[in-house]
Protein backbone atom coordinates (compact mmCIF):
# COMPACT_ATOMS: atom_id res chain seq x y z
CA UNK A 1 0.00 0.00 0.00
CA UNK A 2 1.51 3.34 -1.06
CA UNK A 3 1.71 6.24 1.35
CA UNK A 4 -0.65 9.13 0.61
CA UNK A 5 1.09 12.26 -0.69
CA UNK A 6 -0.01 15.08 1.62
CA UNK A 7 1.95 17.83 -0.13
CA UNK A 8 0.00 20.79 -1.52
CA UNK A 9 -0.46 20.46 -5.31
CA UNK A 10 0.69 23.29 -7.57
CA UNK A 11 -0.41 24.03 -11.13
CA UNK A 12 1.82 26.31 -13.21
CA UNK A 13 -0.15 28.14 -15.92
CA UNK A 14 2.01 29.36 -18.77
CA UNK A 15 1.57 30.50 -22.36
CA UNK A 16 2.65 33.35 -24.61
CA UNK A 17 1.35 36.90 -24.19
CA UNK A 18 -2.39 37.16 -24.78
CA UNK A 19 -3.08 33.44 -25.01
CA UNK A 20 -5.75 33.46 -22.27
CA UNK A 21 -3.89 32.60 -19.04
CA UNK A 22 -5.68 35.15 -16.86
CA UNK A 23 -8.99 34.08 -18.40
CA UNK A 24 -8.22 30.48 -17.37
CA UNK A 25 -7.30 31.59 -13.83
CA UNK A 26 -10.56 33.55 -13.58
CA UNK A 27 -12.52 30.54 -14.79
CA UNK A 28 -10.86 28.31 -12.20
CA UNK A 29 -11.45 30.84 -9.42
CA UNK A 30 -15.13 31.25 -10.29
CA UNK A 31 -15.95 27.57 -10.84
CA UNK A 32 -17.73 25.46 -8.25
CA UNK A 33 -14.93 23.06 -7.36
CA UNK A 34 -14.84 23.46 -3.57
CA UNK A 35 -11.09 24.14 -3.48
CA UNK A 36 -9.48 27.08 -1.70
CA UNK A 37 -6.85 28.36 -4.11
CA UNK A 38 -3.89 30.66 -3.52
CA UNK A 39 -2.79 32.49 -6.69
CA UNK A 40 0.68 33.76 -7.47
CA UNK A 41 0.60 36.36 -10.26
CA UNK A 42 3.62 37.43 -12.27
CA UNK A 43 3.53 40.27 -14.80
CA UNK A 44 6.02 41.66 -17.30
CA UNK A 45 5.97 45.42 -16.92
CA UNK A 46 6.15 48.23 -14.42
CA UNK A 47 2.38 48.56 -13.92
CA UNK A 48 0.38 45.67 -12.51
CA UNK A 49 -2.89 44.97 -14.32
CA UNK A 50 -3.62 41.26 -13.82
CA UNK A 51 -4.42 41.52 -10.11
CA UNK A 52 -7.18 43.98 -11.03
CA UNK A 53 -8.43 41.80 -13.89
CA UNK A 54 -8.55 38.62 -11.80
CA UNK A 55 -12.04 38.47 -10.31
CA UNK A 56 -12.73 39.36 -6.70
CA UNK A 57 -12.59 36.10 -4.78
CA UNK A 58 -11.52 34.80 -1.40
CA UNK A 59 -8.22 33.62 -2.85
CA UNK A 60 -5.13 35.69 -2.18
CA UNK A 61 -3.23 37.23 -5.07
CA UNK A 62 0.53 37.31 -4.84
CA UNK A 63 1.69 39.63 -7.57
CA UNK A 64 5.39 39.86 -8.39
CA UNK A 65 6.12 42.70 -10.73
CA UNK A 66 9.87 43.10 -11.06
CA UNK A 67 10.59 40.48 -13.72
CA UNK A 68 9.85 36.89 -14.66
CA UNK A 69 9.42 34.24 -12.00
CA UNK A 70 12.05 32.27 -13.84
CA UNK A 71 14.60 35.09 -13.80
CA UNK A 72 15.24 37.79 -11.26
CA UNK A 73 12.33 36.89 -8.99
CA UNK A 74 13.15 33.20 -8.72
CA UNK A 75 14.15 33.83 -5.11
CA UNK A 76 10.92 35.75 -4.62
CA UNK A 77 8.94 32.74 -5.77
CA UNK A 78 10.63 30.56 -3.15
CA UNK A 79 10.10 33.25 -0.51
CA UNK A 80 6.42 33.70 -1.36
CA UNK A 81 5.85 29.94 -1.44
CA UNK A 82 7.47 29.78 2.01
CA UNK A 83 5.18 32.55 3.26
CA UNK A 84 2.18 30.72 1.85
CA UNK A 85 3.10 27.48 3.58
CA UNK A 86 3.01 29.23 6.97
CA UNK A 87 -0.68 29.84 6.26
CA UNK A 88 -1.52 26.55 4.57
CA UNK A 89 -4.66 26.19 6.68
CA UNK A 90 -6.10 28.97 4.47
CA UNK A 91 -5.87 27.09 1.14
CA UNK A 92 -5.45 23.63 -0.35
CA UNK A 93 -4.18 24.41 -3.85
CA UNK A 94 -1.72 26.83 -5.46
CA UNK A 95 -1.89 28.36 -8.94
CA UNK A 96 1.18 30.08 -10.40
CA UNK A 97 0.40 32.22 -13.46
CA UNK A 98 3.64 33.17 -15.20
CA UNK A 99 4.26 36.10 -17.50
CA UNK A 100 3.93 35.31 -21.20
CA UNK A 101 7.69 35.75 -21.53
CA UNK A 102 8.57 33.07 -18.98
CA UNK A 103 10.39 29.83 -19.72
CA UNK A 104 8.53 27.33 -17.47
CA UNK A 105 11.60 25.15 -16.84
CA UNK A 106 13.19 27.29 -14.11
CA UNK A 107 9.77 27.74 -12.50
CA UNK A 108 9.38 23.96 -12.36
CA UNK A 109 12.94 23.61 -11.03
CA UNK A 110 11.89 25.53 -7.94
CA UNK A 111 9.82 22.56 -6.76
CA UNK A 112 12.81 20.21 -6.88
CA UNK A 113 15.98 22.15 -6.06
CA UNK A 114 14.74 23.82 -2.86
CA UNK A 115 14.51 21.33 0.01
CA UNK A 116 11.78 23.13 1.97
CA UNK A 117 9.62 23.63 -1.12
CA UNK A 118 10.12 20.04 -2.26
CA UNK A 119 8.94 18.56 1.04
CA UNK A 120 5.77 20.68 1.26
CA UNK A 121 4.65 21.23 -2.34
CA UNK A 122 4.01 18.91 -5.29
CA UNK A 123 4.20 20.17 -8.87
CA UNK A 124 0.98 18.76 -10.28
CA UNK A 125 1.05 20.01 -13.87
CA UNK A 126 2.40 22.61 -16.26
CA UNK A 127 -0.58 23.87 -18.23
CA UNK A 128 0.24 25.84 -21.38
CA UNK A 129 -2.42 28.02 -22.98
CA UNK A 130 -2.02 28.53 -26.74
CA UNK A 131 -3.56 31.27 -28.89
CA UNK A 132 -4.70 29.28 -31.94
CA UNK A 133 -4.75 32.43 -34.07
CA UNK A 134 -1.21 33.63 -33.36
CA UNK A 135 0.79 30.54 -32.31
CA UNK A 136 2.77 30.19 -35.55
CA UNK A 137 3.73 33.88 -35.48
CA UNK A 138 5.71 33.39 -32.26
CA UNK A 139 6.62 29.73 -32.60
CA UNK A 140 8.62 30.21 -35.79
CA UNK A 141 10.01 33.66 -35.05
CA UNK A 142 13.74 33.78 -35.76
CA UNK A 143 15.81 34.60 -32.68
CA UNK A 144 19.44 35.59 -32.31
CA UNK A 145 21.83 32.85 -31.21
CA UNK A 146 21.54 32.25 -27.48
CA UNK A 147 18.08 33.85 -27.20
CA UNK A 148 15.39 31.40 -26.19
CA UNK A 149 12.08 31.13 -27.99
CA UNK A 150 9.73 31.23 -24.99
CA UNK A 151 6.71 30.02 -26.97
CA UNK A 152 8.66 26.92 -27.97
CA UNK A 153 9.88 26.26 -24.43
CA UNK A 154 6.37 26.66 -23.02
CA UNK A 155 5.11 23.91 -25.33
CA UNK A 156 8.10 21.61 -24.83
CA UNK A 157 7.58 21.47 -21.05
CA UNK A 158 3.78 21.34 -21.06
CA UNK A 159 1.84 18.45 -19.53
CA UNK A 160 -1.47 19.88 -20.70
CA UNK A 161 -2.05 22.21 -23.68
CA UNK A 162 -5.18 24.33 -24.06
CA UNK A 163 -5.63 25.36 -27.68
CA UNK A 164 -7.62 28.50 -26.97
CA UNK A 165 -9.57 30.97 -29.15
CA UNK A 166 -10.65 28.21 -31.53
CA UNK A 167 -13.51 30.43 -32.72
CA UNK A 168 -10.97 32.63 -34.52
CA UNK A 169 -9.62 29.92 -36.84
CA UNK A 170 -10.89 27.28 -39.26
CA UNK A 171 -10.88 23.52 -38.68
CA UNK A 172 -7.94 23.11 -41.09
CA UNK A 173 -5.99 25.79 -39.20
CA UNK A 174 -6.75 24.04 -35.91
CA UNK A 175 -5.49 20.73 -37.22
CA UNK A 176 -2.26 22.44 -38.32
CA UNK A 177 -1.85 24.05 -34.89
CA UNK A 178 -2.29 20.68 -33.18
CA UNK A 179 0.20 19.09 -35.59
CA UNK A 180 2.73 21.81 -34.75
CA UNK A 181 2.22 21.24 -31.02
CA UNK A 182 2.66 17.47 -31.35
CA UNK A 183 5.83 17.93 -33.38
CA UNK A 184 7.29 19.73 -30.35
CA UNK A 185 5.67 17.71 -27.56
CA UNK A 186 4.07 14.43 -28.56
CA UNK A 187 3.33 13.47 -24.95
CA UNK A 188 1.20 16.42 -23.89
CA UNK A 189 -2.58 16.11 -23.73
CA UNK A 190 -4.36 18.66 -25.93
CA UNK A 191 -7.84 20.11 -25.57
CA UNK A 192 -9.62 22.78 -27.63
CA UNK A 193 -11.18 25.70 -25.78
CA UNK A 194 -12.97 29.02 -26.10
CA UNK A 195 -12.47 31.60 -23.35
CA UNK A 196 -10.18 29.01 -21.68
CA UNK A 197 -13.19 26.99 -20.44
CA UNK A 198 -12.06 23.46 -19.69
CA UNK A 199 -12.99 20.49 -17.50
CA UNK A 200 -11.29 21.42 -14.23
CA UNK A 201 -10.37 17.81 -13.45
CA UNK A 202 -8.19 18.01 -16.55
CA UNK A 203 -6.26 20.95 -15.06
CA UNK A 204 -6.41 20.62 -11.26
CA UNK A 205 -4.98 17.67 -9.34
CA UNK A 206 -4.19 16.00 -12.64
CA UNK A 207 -0.98 14.28 -11.43
CA UNK A 208 0.37 15.05 -14.89
CA UNK A 209 3.92 16.27 -14.21
CA UNK A 210 6.55 13.55 -14.66
CA UNK A 211 10.14 14.42 -13.83
CA UNK A 212 11.47 11.53 -15.93
CA UNK A 213 9.82 12.92 -19.08
CA UNK A 214 11.21 16.39 -18.43
CA UNK A 215 14.71 15.00 -17.97
CA UNK A 216 14.40 13.42 -21.41
CA UNK A 217 13.64 16.86 -22.86
CA UNK A 218 16.31 18.62 -20.79
CA UNK A 219 18.90 16.40 -19.05
CA UNK A 220 20.27 19.50 -17.26
CA UNK A 221 16.83 20.35 -15.89
CA UNK A 222 17.84 20.09 -12.23
CA UNK A 223 20.97 22.19 -12.72
CA UNK A 224 21.03 25.95 -12.27
CA UNK A 225 21.18 27.80 -15.58
CA UNK A 226 20.44 31.24 -16.97
CA UNK A 227 18.26 31.88 -19.95
CA UNK A 228 18.28 35.01 -22.06
CA UNK A 229 15.14 36.92 -22.94
CA UNK A 230 14.69 38.70 -26.23
CA UNK A 231 15.74 42.19 -25.16
CA UNK A 232 13.97 43.79 -28.12
CA UNK A 233 10.65 43.07 -26.38
CA UNK A 234 9.81 45.81 -23.88
CA UNK A 235 6.83 47.00 -21.91
CA UNK A 236 5.42 50.50 -21.51
CA UNK A 237 3.07 51.32 -18.66
CA UNK A 238 0.66 54.26 -18.85
CA UNK A 239 -0.98 55.43 -15.64
CA UNK A 240 -2.99 58.62 -15.15
CA UNK A 241 -5.74 60.12 -13.01
CA UNK A 242 -8.82 61.71 -14.55
CA UNK A 243 -11.73 60.61 -16.71
CA UNK A 244 -11.43 59.51 -20.33
CA UNK A 245 -13.55 60.46 -23.33
CA UNK A 246 -14.72 57.05 -24.58
CA UNK A 247 -14.98 58.12 -28.22
CA UNK A 248 -11.48 59.59 -28.22
CA UNK A 249 -9.85 56.56 -26.64
CA UNK A 250 -11.67 54.18 -29.01
CA UNK A 251 -10.37 56.22 -31.93
CA UNK A 252 -6.83 56.21 -30.52
CA UNK A 253 -6.77 52.47 -29.78
CA UNK A 254 -8.18 51.79 -33.26
CA UNK A 255 -5.40 53.90 -34.82
CA UNK A 256 -2.81 52.17 -32.63
CA UNK A 257 -3.87 48.71 -33.78
CA UNK A 258 -3.92 49.71 -37.45
CA UNK A 259 -0.52 51.41 -37.36
CA UNK A 260 1.38 49.42 -34.71
CA UNK A 261 -0.59 46.16 -34.37
CA UNK A 262 2.14 43.87 -35.71
CA UNK A 263 4.57 45.22 -33.09
CA UNK A 264 2.13 45.04 -30.16
CA UNK A 265 2.15 41.51 -28.74
CA UNK A 266 -0.18 42.40 -25.89
CA UNK A 267 -2.05 45.34 -24.45
CA UNK A 268 -4.53 45.51 -21.61
CA UNK A 269 -5.91 48.10 -19.30
CA UNK A 270 -8.57 49.50 -17.00
CA UNK A 271 -10.08 52.85 -17.93
CA UNK A 272 -12.10 55.42 -15.97
CA UNK A 273 -14.67 56.53 -18.55
CA UNK A 274 -16.34 59.93 -18.07
CA UNK A 275 -19.97 59.79 -16.85
CA UNK A 276 -19.80 56.05 -16.12
CA UNK A 277 -19.98 54.26 -12.78
CA UNK A 278 -18.31 51.17 -14.24
CA UNK A 279 -14.72 50.37 -15.08
CA UNK A 280 -13.96 49.90 -18.78
CA UNK A 281 -11.64 46.96 -19.43
CA UNK A 282 -9.82 46.32 -22.68
CA UNK A 283 -7.42 43.65 -23.95
CA UNK A 284 -5.68 43.27 -27.28
CA UNK A 285 -3.37 40.85 -29.08
CA UNK A 286 -1.76 42.16 -32.26
CA UNK A 287 -4.66 43.35 -34.45
CA UNK A 288 -7.39 41.79 -32.29
CA UNK A 289 -9.08 43.97 -29.68
CA UNK A 290 -11.89 43.61 -27.17
CA UNK A 291 -13.19 46.24 -24.78
CA UNK A 292 -16.29 46.39 -22.62
CA UNK A 293 -17.76 47.84 -19.41
CA UNK A 294 -16.75 45.86 -16.33
CA UNK A 295 -17.98 45.90 -12.75
CA UNK A 296 -18.87 49.10 -10.92
CA UNK A 297 -16.12 51.09 -9.25
CA UNK A 298 -16.04 50.41 -5.51
CA UNK A 299 -16.70 53.29 -3.14
CA UNK A 300 -13.18 53.10 -1.67
CA UNK A 301 -11.48 52.51 -5.03
CA UNK A 302 -9.37 55.21 -6.70
CA UNK A 303 -10.70 55.82 -10.21
CA UNK A 304 -7.50 55.88 -12.19
CA UNK A 305 -6.43 54.65 -15.62
CA UNK A 306 -3.86 51.85 -15.95
CA UNK A 307 -2.57 50.34 -19.18
CA UNK A 308 0.31 48.11 -20.20
CA UNK A 309 1.69 47.63 -23.71
CA UNK A 310 4.16 44.83 -24.51
CA UNK A 311 5.93 44.50 -27.83
CA UNK A 312 8.65 45.87 -30.07
CA UNK A 313 9.47 49.45 -31.15
CA UNK A 314 7.23 50.97 -28.48
CA UNK A 315 7.52 54.75 -28.06
CA UNK A 316 6.87 55.52 -24.39
CA UNK A 317 6.53 59.27 -24.87
CA UNK A 318 4.12 58.90 -27.79
CA UNK A 319 1.92 56.36 -25.99
CA UNK A 320 1.69 58.57 -22.91
CA UNK A 321 0.99 61.79 -24.82
CA UNK A 322 -1.62 60.24 -27.12
CA UNK A 323 -3.43 58.70 -24.14
CA UNK A 324 -3.43 61.99 -22.22
CA UNK A 325 -5.03 63.63 -25.24
CA UNK A 326 -8.02 61.35 -24.57
CA UNK A 327 -8.60 62.74 -21.07
CA UNK A 328 -11.56 65.02 -20.46
CA UNK A 329 -10.22 68.53 -19.98
pLDDT digit string, tens, across residues 242-266? 999 988 988 888 888 878 877 887 7
CATH number of the domain at 238, please.
3.30.1220.10
**The pLDDT value given to residue 145:** 62
CA angle 151, 157, 163 (to 5 degrees): 60
**Could you tell me which residue, 252 or 106, shows the higher pLDDT?**
252
Statement to judge: residues 212 and 242 lie in one domain: no
| Gyration radius of the chain over CA positions | 20
Percent of the chain with pLDDT over 70: 79
* Overall average pLDDT of the 8-28 stretch: 86
**The pLDDT value given to residue 189:** 92
Indicate the pLDDT class of residue 198, thresholds 50, 70 and 90: very high
Statement to judge: residues 204 and 239 lie in one domain: no
Q: Which of 210-224, 283-297, 300-314 is predicted most confidently?
A: 300-314
Do the domain assignments include residue 329?
no
How many domains does the chain divide into? 2
Do the domain assignments include residue 40?
yes
Statement to judge: residues 65 and 155 lie in one domain: yes
pLDDT at 174 over 70: yes
- By residue range, what is the domain housing residue 259? 234-324
**Could you tell me which residue, 311 or 164, shows the higher pLDDT?**
164
Do the domain assignments include residue 206?
yes
Identify the domain boundary among 217, 243, 260: 217
Statement to judge: residues 211 and 302 lie in one domain: no
Do the domain assignments include residue 2?
no
Across all residues in the chain, what is the average pLDDT? 79
Amino acid sequence: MTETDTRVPVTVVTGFLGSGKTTLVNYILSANHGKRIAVIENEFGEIGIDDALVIDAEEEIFEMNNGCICCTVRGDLIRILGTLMKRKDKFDYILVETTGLADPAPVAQTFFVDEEVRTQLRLDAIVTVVDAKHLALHLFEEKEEGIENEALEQLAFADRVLVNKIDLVSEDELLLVEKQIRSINAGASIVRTQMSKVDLDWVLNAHAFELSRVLEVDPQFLEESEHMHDQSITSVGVEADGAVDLEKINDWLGWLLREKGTDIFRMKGIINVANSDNRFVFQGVHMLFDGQPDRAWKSDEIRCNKMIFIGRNLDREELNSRFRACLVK
